[in-house]
Amino acid sequence: MKIVKNQKGFTLTEVMLALLIIGMTSVLLTRMMGFHTSASAAYSRYNRQQFTVYDAFTRLNRDIEAALSVTASDNITGNMYKTIHLEMEGCSRQWKLDSGSLYCDSDCVVEDLTADSQFVYGSGFLTVILMPRPTNNGANSINVANPIASQYSLVYKK
């Protein structure tokens, strides 16, 4: 009588090797997906910081360019101020930086700024310095690192 061995199936070594390869691949894929998720969230917060500054400057620029006269109040130190008053044809506006927010006539229009944001007012110029609040920390800590400034000439304003 002849004994016939069943040749179907996998050996224990083949099964262990396949499990090892699947395990290593799944760990790598999980790490890559985790990095991608955290990097995407960090870039999203970074873009939000940039939009905060862009939005504030867009709103301020429109009024400063239209202003006939500019004055400042709420002195911080030297020629640095928290509030500017803009007199325009037919109306006036007050812009104020307080507690990390930009207010226009007591309405909050932009949030997520730092206390480093300020108006620098002198004879013949107005400088607006805005610094968004840092939102990213950890492995993907990209933030707007320096204050963003824009200077306006007031020489031709009345």
Residue 3 lies in a domain: no
Residue 4 lies in a domain: no
Convert the pLDDT of each residue in 46-82 to its tens digit: 888 888 889 889 989 999 988 888 999 888 888 999 9
The pTM (predicted TM-score) of the whole model is 0.73
Residue 60 lies in a domain: yes
Distant-in-sequence, close-in-space partners of 54: CB < 8 Å, separation ≥ 6: none
Task: Tell whether the model's pLDDT for residue 158 goes beyond 60.
Answer: no
Give the domain extent around 77. Answer: 12-153
pLDDT of residue 1: 66
Could you tell me if 80 and 118 are in contact, meaning their C-beta atoms sit under 8 angstroms apart?
yes
pLDDT of residue 4: 64
pLDDT > 90 fraction of the chain, expressed in percent and rounded: 39
- Which long-range contacts does 88-95 make (Cβ < 8 Å, 24+ apart)? 88/63, 93/63, 95/60, 95/63, 95/119
8 vs 63, residue with greater confidence = 63
As for how many domains the chain has, the answer is 1
At residue 9, what is the residue type? G
